[in-house]
Structure 1
Amino acid sequence: MSSDPHPRRDDAPLRVMTWNVWWRFGDWRARREALLAVLRAEDPDVVGLQEVWADADENLAHWLGAELGMHVAWSPSPAPERWRRRLLFNGEDPAVVETLQFGNAVLSRWPFLEQESVDLPGGGHEDEGRTALQVLVDTPRRPLPFTTTHLNSSPAESAVRVDQVRALVPFVAAGRVRGDRYPPVLTGDFNAVAESDELRLCQGYLTAGPVPGFVLVDSWRFADPADPGFTWDRANPFVARVHQPSARIDHVLVGLAPFSGEGSVRDVRLVATEPVDGVWASDHAAVVVDLEP
């Protein structure tokens, strides 16, 4: 195993996180500092990021990784055109927008043993270039299979997301529980609530999943039942202006833990639910999960 540049106590939890960082919308320079402040305060071990931007000179994930001393994996979308058009609609410089890439990323306290990405089915009105990025993290105790993804966003595209889940779950299951690994972790902005067909299919215990015998547990089931866990919350002004209801659409799903409990959920909570020095870091809250080491 590689040495840890940020040593932890032996009983410290394995802290994972998911966060949609809202592309290059709004005052992205100020938001970038707020993103960094939240990540620094939470001190996660592994983070899945969605809507990450990269231009000809800089990649947001690499910038955050350098500031935090974390390893970075990056997976650009094969079809970023829709996202570029949205920036043009907001009046951004066309010459700059033309160079922008859009994708998923993983930040990790420890190095990666493996890295792989998969393109998800397009369907719907337009192929949005959705992908999933999977890494195998070289944690001190045992490798952690960790995947992050971002599914189609339209409320009317549940059928597209179901097709994407049918491609996603076998990809995640390839890193399923083995004697030398933690149970796999799947994170992301699914653009779907837990009761949806796509999330039921993804988890595989209320609805038969794409991989027989493979089950993922929604970490929020370990939260206070009275907490709705809204990650897309009208309390955030960037959400309120869209005129849609609050919802829990960002998820951390964890493979079934062995009897020893390694990799099981110890605690789960939301962060980035208020501005940092007056700046909302994103239109999404982040989900932080502490796993038993």
Structure 2
Amino acid sequence: MEGLAAQQADLIGLQEVKLPEDNSAWLAQQLNMPYVQLVPHKGLDDKGFPYYGGAILSRYPFTQQETLDLQTQGRVAQYVQVEVDGQRLVFCNGHYYWYPGPSPERVKQVQLLLDWLGKLPPDRPIVAVGDFNGMPETPAIAKRCCEAQIALMRDRFTSAYAAYHGHEPEYTCPTPLKKRRSLQRRVVKYLVNAWIHRNLRPWRGTLDYVFINQHLRVQNCQLILTEPAPNDRTLYPSDHFGIAAELEIVRRSP
């Protein structure tokens, strides 16, 4: 909460909001952000509750709210429309198909997202944030035809971090957050990563992005939530770093 408060953000996208406890409501209250759109994912635990969801926190009232069924793994994308200085803006948040490495299912989800956002008016500023679970060189994020996922996004949108720095972050995941896992689970995860990435070193990479369309300009973009708790070097805000972007709406000539 302290790390997010320091950003004084107007809009925040959260993935893996814990349910049914709903830590997004607590964060919104602490950050004095009165508008929240919480969308549960479709997977249920053994008690019939969604495991988690996605949430958008805002200082601006919503003039429109929409959700999109991503059709795999119970994933859902969401967007809200707000009005900033008389200009409508769409803020989209998503958490996409998880698989260690390229995946056609993730590509399908990103295509669904692009088709969905493509129905918006062509002059509408759009910010699309989230955990895309895809590296910059994987199909849904990169720009070569054989790497379609991030390529699909970059055909329509610009990565704010890459626009500001000239490259994506070295990594956004995992942070040094210490997780409680059995030795067997740690070994299995290590072997899977070694097989997928053909590397014996522990995996880390960039999975998180702030994408913008041509109606927005990047003033600043940085990784955030990169430091541990003062009294515990293994306690981090998340297993992913955050990304904060300061954006300017490109005004049309009268």
Matching residue within 118, 131, 134 for 2:68 = 118
Partner of 1:187, secondary structure, is strand
Matching residue within 69, 72, 80 for 2:36 = 72
Structure 1 residue aligned with 2:183: none
Contact 2:63 2:82 in 1 (8 A): yes
Contact 1:236 1:274 in 2 (8 A): no
Deviation string for 1:193-237 (max 9, x for gaps)?
122111137x99x969879xx711111222434773411045444
Contact 2:101 2:138 in 1 (8 A): no
Matching residue within 118, 133, 158 for 1:173 = 118
Deviation of the 1:75 alpha carbon: 0.7
The separation in 1 between residues aligned to 2:209 and 2:55, in whole angstroms, is 16
Matching residue within 14, 26, 38 for 2:3 = 38
Partner of 1:143, secondary structure, is strand
The separation in 2 between residues aligned to 1:168 and 1:226, in whole angstroms, is 24
Structure 2 residue aligned with 1:251: 209
Structure 2 residue aligned with 1:136: 81
Contact 1:45 1:109 in 2 (8 A): yes
Identity across the alignment (%): 29
The separation in 2 between residues aligned to 1:234 and 1:99, in whole angstroms, is 28
1:231 aligns with 2:181: no
Structure 2 residue aligned with 1:189: 131
Deviation of the 1:292 alpha carbon: 1.4
Root-mean-square deviation (CA), in Å? 3.0
Deviation of the 1:284 alpha carbon: 0.5
The separation in 2 between residues aligned to 1:53 and 1:227, in whole angstroms, is 28
The separation in 2 between residues aligned to 1:52 and 1:168, in whole angstroms, is 20
Partner of 1:264, secondary structure, is strand
The separation in 1 between residues aligned to 2:228 and 2:38, in whole angstroms, is 27
Deviation string for 1:121-147 (max 9, x for gaps)?
21xxxxx20010011012234121111
Number of residue equivalences: 226
1:227–1:188 distance in 2 versus 1, CA, 3 Å:
closer
Q: Which structure carries more relative contact order (alpha carbon 8 Å, separation 6+)? A: 1
Moved more, 241-250 or 135-144: 241-250
Deviation of the 1:48 alpha carbon: 0.8
The separation in 1 between residues aligned to 2:53 and 2:68, in whole angstroms, is 12
Partner of 1:222, secondary structure, is helix
Q: TM-score, normalised by structure 2?
A: 0.78
Partner of 2:71, secondary structure, is coil
Structure 2 residue aligned with 1:104: 54
Partner of 2:162, secondary structure, is helix
The separation in 2 between residues aligned to 1:173 and 1:114, in whole angstroms, is 16
Unaligned runs of 5+ in 1: 1-35, 85-96, 123-127, 258-262
Unaligned runs of 5+ in 2: 181-185, 191-201, 250-254
Contact 2:140 2:148 in 1 (8 A): no
Equivalence map 1:150-161=2 (5 Å):
150-156=95-101, 158-161=103-106
Deviation of the 1:120 alpha carbon: 0.5
Contact 1:146 1:186 in 2 (8 A): yes
Structure 2 residue aligned with 1:163: 108
The separation in 2 between residues aligned to 1:186 and 1:145, in whole angstroms, is 8
1:117–1:255 distance in 2 versus 1, CA, 3 Å:
same
Structure 2 residue aligned with 1:271: 224
The separation in 1 between residues aligned to 2:52 and 2:167, in whole angstroms, is 36
1:235–1:133 distance in 2 versus 1, CA, 3 Å:
same
1:246–1:110 distance in 2 versus 1, CA, 3 Å:
same
Deviation of the 1:153 alpha carbon: 1.3
